[in-house]
Structures are given as C-alpha cells and as structure tokens.
Amino acid sequence: MKKNLLNEEAAGKMIARVQMLRPDSPALWGTMTATEMLLHCNQIHERLLSPATTIAKKTSWKQYAIRSVVLYIMPRFPKGVKAPKQVRTKGAIADAEFEKQQVLFAAIVQRFPLHSSPINHPHPYFGNLNSKQWGLAAWKHLDHHLRQFGV
C-alpha cells in the first residue's frame, strides 16, 4: 500500500483508523483533545482540496532540505512541532462536536483519491509541493495525529 492519501486503499485505512478514535481518547503527547485534533486536520485538508488562494513563492533551500528529510527519509512526522498559528485549534471547539468532526474527517479523506485537479498550495515548512507530495504529506500528517491518540 502506498502511504499517500491520493491512494484509495491508504485513504480507506485512514478512515478505518479514525473510526477507532473516541471523544475521550487521551493524547499521548501534545495538548489538543481528540475533537480539537479532528478540527485541526479537517481545516487543513479541506483547504488543500480547495483552489489555492495564496500565490506560491519560490521554495528556499532550507525548505527543500526539510521537505526531503521529512517526506522521504523520516518514517513519520516528529512529535512536538508547533503548528502555524492559523491552524491551531486549542480551545476552538467543544467536545460535543466530536462526532460531527469525525464524520467530516472521513468525508474529506474520501475525496483525496477522487481529487483530479492539482493541489497548488504552498506548505509553510516545505515550500511548494506537487500533488503527489501533498498526498504523502497529508498521509503523514493524519498518521501523526492518529498515533498521537493511540489509533
């Protein structure tokens, strides 16, 4: 199986994993609740599947190096990396919204293998990515957060 959300099998396995998540699943690291994590993932991945609204800048050598290491050498995202301020969700949602966010998570992930237009958003740490790289980054991002909650 390709570890890429653009792959139907990989997306299906990610959806199966999120179904094991519970509202009271404790975080093994970090401070988000399960509901806050789902909101965080949903906001980011919904944006990825929408047309780009920012103009891509040239990828710096530093971004290129970080991207190469994180996407192709490291088996998973490291713990403890701070999310950019615009996608932090601590305190932004009530735990009563868990089921709604869980259903939305599955719906967004199901759209990835069907997404036919290029994903043109720049990544804040990796710079410009092509669709295949975004599929890999999205898979690693979701895997990171589901492992954060033991699923």
Distance CA 98, CA 106 (A): 13
User: Which residues of the chain fall below pLDDT 70?
Assistant: 1
Q: Judge residue 131's burial from the number of C-beta atoms within 10 Å of its C-beta, 0-12 exposed, 13-18 middle, 19 or more buried.
A: middle
Residue 111, domain extent: 8-148
pLDDT value, residue 82: 80
Instruction: Supply 145's token pair.
Output: 């957060």
User: Could you tell me where the DSSP H helices lie in 49-148?
Assistant: 61-67, 98-111, 131-148
Residue 83: per-residue pLDDT: 80
Residue 2, in any domain of the structure: no
With respect to residue 3, please indicate whether it lies within any of the assigned structural domains: no
The domain that contains 109 carries what CATH number? 1.20.120
Helix (H, G, I), strand (E, B) or coil at 39: helix
Q: What is the pLDDT of residue 1?
A: 63
Q: Give the global pTM.
A: 0.90
Number of structural domains found in the chain? 1
Q: Does any domain span residue 92?
A: yes
Give the integer Cα–Cα distance in Å for 128 and 63.
Answer: 9
What is the pLDDT at residue 120?
Answer: 84
